[in-house]
Structure formats: C-alpha cells, structure tokens
Amino acid sequence: MTNPLEHRIAPELEQFIRDGTYKRLNFLESPQAARVQMEGRGEVIILSSNNYLGLANEPSVVAAGKAALDSFGAGTASVRFICGTFTIHRALEAACARLVGTPASLSFGSCWNANEAVPGTLLTENDLIISDQLNHASIIDGVRLAKAITKCQTAVYQHGDLTDLDAKLTAAKDRRVKMVVTDGVFSMEGAIAKLPDLIELCRRHQAVLVVDDSHATGVLGKNGRGTAEHFGLVGEVDIITSTLGKALGGAAGGFVAASAAVSDYLTQRARPQLFSNALPPTVAASSLASIEFLEAHPERVAGLRENARYFRDQLLELGFKPLPGETPIIPVILGETAAAIRMSDLLLAEGVFVTGFGYPVVPQGQARVRCQISATHTREDLDQALAAFRKVGRQLQLI
C-alpha cells in the first residue's frame, strides 16, 4: 500500500522518462579534470564542469585540505557562534574579501545559502528587492523566501533591461531600502551583466546592488577578481555573493562579500549561518589555497580566456551557432528539451561529457547543450571534443 506522496510521484517519474527529460547521473571514478574516468565508460573529456581553473585537483589545493584535516579535525560540530569558529575560516574570509575587493566577507555552506541569506536577513517589510528575470534559481528562491519572511515587496525586471529596471525603481520611491540583484555571469547564457549601467542606475536611485559572481570569480578580469574587475570597477559593488564550488577549488561553500557592517549584521542575524554548521576545515583550507593559487597565477585566467575563445571560434567554423559572448560558458541552442538531451547522449557516446538543459531550467523552446571550458583543457582535448561535435552535429543535421 503506497502513501499519497509515493502514489503521486511514481507516475511523474515515469513521465520524465517518457518525455526524455529524466536525468541519469554519471558516476566518476577520478578527480575532476579535463579528462576523467567515468564508471562504465572509461576516459571522457569533461566539457560541462565549473572547474574553470582546474584547481579541483591542484596539488597545493588538495594538500591544504589534508593538512587542515590534521590540524582541525573533521568539522566544527555545531554552528559557529555556539561552538567556536576555526582560524582557517577567518583566514578564508579575509582572502575572499581581498580577492573580490570588499572590506569584509562571511562564508556560508554554499552560495545557495549565501543568496538565501542576503535578502531574507537584510530587508524588512518597508523594502523592495528587484531581480533580473534570468537570475539563478538560488536568487529566485532567496527572493521568495525574503518575501515570506520579511514581507518585503518583490519585483522582476526583464533580463538585462535597464529601462525596465529604472521604471520599477522609480515606481518604488516610497520603499526605504531598494535592493537590485543580478548574476554577474548568467549561468545558462554566459552573458555578462551590464555592471557599469547597473551601478550608475543603483546610485541614482540609492539602491543597493547585489551581484552573484559565482561564474565570474576566478574567470572574469585580468586577475580573475570577477565582473567588477572585468569592467574596471573593483570596490564599486555593494554586495557580492559567490561560490567556492566552481573556479575556487570546486569543493563547496559560498560567501557574501560586503562592507564590515553588512558582514557583521549577517553574522548576527543570517539564519543559514546561525543555524547551520560552518564549512568543513578541509574545504575552507582548500578554498583558501585556491585563492592563493589564483593570486599567484593570473596566467591561468588568461589561458582560460584563450581556450574559451578558441572553442567558440571553432564551433562557429563548424557551422554551429553558439550564443555570442566572451565567457567560458558556451551554449548551443537546440530548441526542445529532448533534442538537447539526445545531443548530450550522442556526445557522451563519443567520449565527450556535455550536459543538455531544458525547461524549466531554461525557457520553453530554448533547450541547449552548454559547453564549459577550463584553463586546463589542452588543444588536443578541445580538438577531440570539436571532432565529436562535428560528427554528432552532422548526424542530427544541425550543421
């Protein structure tokens, strides 16, 4: 006898399979790298990882994690304000703030948590938050949560449309605090937020600007300091959230970088931090070592940019039409979800792991395979992947 929940979800799962939208997990038997060992398949080129700088298995990053395990043990065994916080967390937070160019930062168990914490903690019922239409799911849910917790007003502006944002800010004159939130790099498009215009508009309306730089930290700017560095605006963004789970070692964790007062207020009041354990010391130490590696090796960021440029140019040469851009996120739009999943399956059969994304992760009819390039892909890796794209593209009559 199944309960009502099991009764409801079992046919839904079967429908996912019939629709071709069911996600099958691929298991890896080796660390994240340009090439990995995939269970049941052998060596595969990964073209869908956020390991942008290849630091997930960088020897100094792994060694730092092991050393922290010896020094601090497995974890804090409670939340930070109750049980104490490790000195490695303080060192990490200083490094995060230094990297992105803010006076202070506070780490969280994930950037998802950081994005939940910012509006829900900092806003009140007198306030407003306006979010870009294509923001990451964690921002969307953070805004929903803030509305439920604080009764703040919420709004969405058309993607990248500063005229729409201007109108919505003008209409919200009576709101005490106005907060605007955007991805720095939009994860499904690879597009970069129009930061100079956003800063100017927010200043004019005395609004607080929050930028989620999860796909920009370690990626954009000459030294990988993010969207602000890309535009020569380091120090000009009010609040930056970012992840430690992508370019900065790829383990897990996130942070909010902001003024000392905002960081302190979040330390006092942010529920995902007050009622949940801190990052494991292994992760804090590996993340710190990743930031130190990045600071010492800006040429890794230049290599990433060069690899992304090469791959995008070659895809165009083959006749694909990737979304235009200059980040290592290179989506090829295919239309229906099943088409994206089919292409990704065929590429995997050729030894190239690229994920297909469909509705509701991206808008209906805009399913895509999303390539993500790493600084550690060799020319041989990229050329082999391009040969697979040529073969599958012809098979599917895309080129």
Ligand X SMILES: Cc1ncc(COP(=O)(O)O)c(C=O)c1O
Q: Which residues make up the interface to ligand X (CB under 6 A)?
A: 110-112, 115, 136, 138, 183, 187, 212, 214-215, 243, 245, 254
Residues 257 and 365: their CA atoms lie apart, in Å, by 36
332 Cβ contact list (under 8 Å, min separation 6): 315, 320, 321, 322, 323, 368, 369, 370, 371
335 Cβ contact list (under 8 Å, min separation 6): 365, 366, 367
**Is 215 known to be catalytic?**
yes
Q: Of 49 and 392, which has the nearer Cβ to ligand X?
A: 49
Q: Which of 105, 187, 263, 374 is catalytic?
A: 187
Q: Which of 89, 178, 215, 230 is catalytic?
A: 215
Q: Of 150 and 243, which has the nearer Cβ to ligand X?
A: 243
Compute the least distance from the CB of residue 214 to ligand X, in Å: 4
Compute the least distance from the CB of residue 160 to ligand X, in Å: 15
Q: Of 136 and 342, which has the nearer Cβ to ligand X?
A: 136
How many H helices and E strands in the chain? 15, 13
Q: Of 266 and 388, which has the nearer Cβ to ligand X?
A: 266
**Is 246 known to be catalytic?**
yes
Compute the least distance from the CB of residue 252 to ligand X, in Å: 6
Residue 227's H or E segment, with its range, is: helix 227-230
Compute the least distance from the CB of residue 216 to ligand X, in Å: 9
Q: Of 175 and 344, which has the nearer Cβ to ligand X?
A: 344
- Cβ-contact 178, 153 below 8 angstroms: no
Compute the least distance from the CB of residue 3 to ligand X, in Å: 31
Alpha carbon 283 to its chain's center = 17
The two beta strands, 178-183 and 208-212, are parallel
- Cβ-contact 176, 124 below 8 angstroms: yes
**Is 168 known to be catalytic?**
no
Q: Report, as residue numbers or ranges, the catalytic residues.
A: 187, 215, 246
